[in-house]
Amino acid sequence: MFENKETTNIDELGEFGLIKHLTNAITFENDQTLIGAGDDAALIDPKGNEVLVSTDLLVENVHFDMMYTPLKHLGYKAAVVNFSDICAMNAVPSQLTFSMAFSSKYTLEAIEELYAGVLLACKKYQVNLVGGDTCTIPSGLVLSGTAIGFNETKNVVKRSGAKAGDLLCVSGDLGGAYMGLQLLEREKRVFLEQKDMQPDLKNHDYIVGRQLKPEARIDIIKSLKELGIMPTSMMDISDGLSSEIFHISEASKVDFTVFEDKLPIDQDTFNMAVEFGIDPTTAALNGGEDYELLFTIDQKDYEKIKTNPDISVIGHAKEAGMKNELMSKQGNSYELKAQGWQHKNS
């Protein structure tokens, strides 16, 4: 990443110079912003809707490793993870504030690259970047995004609305981001041991992309609306399917049965899991960072989604007190754990 090209120390610009330099590149993607970056606060027109707000931190060496994370991808991801939280309320993101604290190892060119990724995500998702803060930090890089979306209260979907009998659905496929991370970590170890080795990521664009450049499933939110489906509960999968099932289970006071053979797993994810000696089901259940949507729908809506290639029905809700369980391909029931799953008797 930090190649030998011409670099500029950010101190030469100063804070205000840097902000002006970066915000010059902002273009508005929607008409809800009345005042953007450059005043004490942004002013936004909710157009009669209620306001959704969500915020996420990304920290170097905790959430990302600069050894294998391109800065533009990182900026893109830092924006998208915030957008995903707004989608998870059955809404689309409209505005973003984005703050960065960076150490002196980050040059102006590096920060520009990062910011370009944020702007690319904003362009793709038609979100306006309306503010933020920048400052130095003794070491590392910290990114803080806050996304704002709008919806009518009656269309907002919480985690708490699932009821017994509802179908449990997931968008896309699972475990890819986790297997991408395993691959990147392995190639990093190889590189650190033998610097003349080139990382072997070929033919693994899919899982590497799932890790480095996730997408927020706005398309699913729009599809559900077109299909006339109002999910009964919803959240996005950032920490792993199992963990999120427990969140919905707890908030909705229902338990879930999940069928192992219904878990959507991409072939590349499956193969890489086998190569690493990881059970693909475990990768799908506990992997995290897929940013797919997990939601429940009323059974009456099943016909509307049963042939949708982007949505898998993976289980159903039942009365609380029966525990969240995974029904294996062999037809055995295992108790699901927030992280992982165990035999009921263990």
The smaller minimum CB distance to a copy of itself, of residues 56 and 266, is found at 56
The smaller minimum CB distance to a copy of itself, of residues 256 and 259, is found at 256
Region for residue 322 given its phi and psi (left: phi exceeds 0; alpha: psi -120 to 50; beta: otherwise): alpha
Site residues, a copy of itself (CB under 8 A): 34-35, 38-46, 50-57, 59-63, 85-86, 88-89, 91, 95, 97, 99, 101, 130-140, 142, 144, 146-149, 151, 153, 156, 158-160, 234-236, 251
The least CB distance from residue 159 to a copy of itself, in Å, is 5
Reference 265, options 245, 298, 243, 241; nearest CA is: 241
The smaller minimum CB distance to a copy of itself, of residues 57 and 320, is found at 57
The smaller minimum CB distance to a copy of itself, of residues 60 and 325, is found at 60
The least CB distance from residue 246 to a copy of itself, in Å, is 9
Reference 124, options 35, 21, 218; nearest CA is: 218
How far are the Cα atoms of 57, 60, 77, 258 from residue 205, in angstroms, in the given order? 26, 23, 16, 29
Give me the residues paired with residue 296 across strands: 168, 233
The least CB distance from residue 49 to a copy of itself, in Å, is 8
The least CB distance from residue 162 to a copy of itself, in Å, is 13
The smaller minimum CB distance to a copy of itself, of residues 259 and 341, is found at 341
Annotate 124-138 with b (16+ C-beta within 10 A) or e (fewer): bbebbbbbbebeeee
Do 194 and 78 touch, CB atoms closer than 8 A? no
Extract the tokens encoding 100.
Answer: 């960065």
The least CB distance from residue 238 to a copy of itself, in Å, is 9
